[in-house]
Amino acid sequence: MRKTVTRLADGRELVYFDAHDEDRAAVDRRPLDPVVSASEIRYDALLDEYVAIASHRQGRIYHPPADSCPLCPSTADWQSEIPATSYEVAVFENRFPSLEGEHGRCEVVCFTSDHTASFADLTEERTALVLAAWTDRTAELSALPGVEQVYCFENRGAEIGVTLAHPHGQIYAFPFTAPRTATMLRNAAAHRAHTRRNLFDDLVERERKDERVVLAGEHWTAFVPYAARWPYEVHLYPHRRVADLTALDDDARAEFPRLYLELLRRFDRLFGPDAPPTPYIAAWHQAPTARSGAAEDRDEFALHLELFTVRRASGKLKYLAGTESGMGAFMNDVSPESAADRLREVASS
């Protein structure tokens, strides 16, 4: 892999990742003013959680036409966020960040220069390159002062709230440990104190024996969780417990592209051949950084990916209604067992 680090016209960092030896020396010639943001972190004492206030994001780009996409390569007629005329994988600092400076950092990950593609269309080689980019950024961002957790994710589909159609994801470097991670760590600590075993190990061991396994390899297993919150939800775990992406071994890295692409392609077949692409969120759960307040719990955490869709049936979405939005109490219309059955039915032939 070749990594090329450069700067955009306003000083933001841009990083190209290439599987082959490519020259990415193009210069951003746009007359950009420096990024001015007003990100603020506020603490909710009742819930013991932090909230980012980022009012400047109201002015971010919203559903631009394809010929004005900021994530496509630049051309003679259009100068985008990526000066090169082609690229494999590109990562740059978000111009409209929810977190910035001492409050963290937000990056955009472009999976391909093909505007019309999706992640499921990528080759295994390109998927391996994306994994390498996620790993690199996890290492780099974890080393920044004040960063306590790095979160790599993809939002796909207008139903999720995506405002740019180009296939891309994001990376947030939080200045705090995210609420869900904090809850997992507390429960893992309690489980260790009670049983002297690791909670994630016990969970994955149990799930690997269950009927809700969707896809299994030599180094990874994907399953619909017993208490799934979303209509179609899959968790993907490496068999060897590690804290974050940087700790995956070569065998797990080599197997991941095939399994992950198969999962994404199954998601697109869930609702029949005539259904539009399935909207989804793909979320990497990683341990807090070594310098964070929860550093002592890193060994107890297990890296995993959670993939889920808000579509519950053809033409029907799962909205967060009063119980979910108001109280955080989820009500799932699809049983995890039937969801697993369906995800096995749509396997590639």
Q: Where does residue 308 fall: left (phi above 0), alpha (psi -120 to 50 degrees), or beta otherwise? A: beta
Contact 173, 91 (CB under 8 A): no
Residue 194 bears catalytic tag: no
Q: Of residues 168, 191, 219, 285, which has the active-site annotation?
A: 168
* Amino acid, res. 307: L
In whole angstroms, give the CA distance from residue 264 to residue 282. 9
Closest CA relative to residue 304, chosen from 197, 189, 153: 153
Active site residues: 168
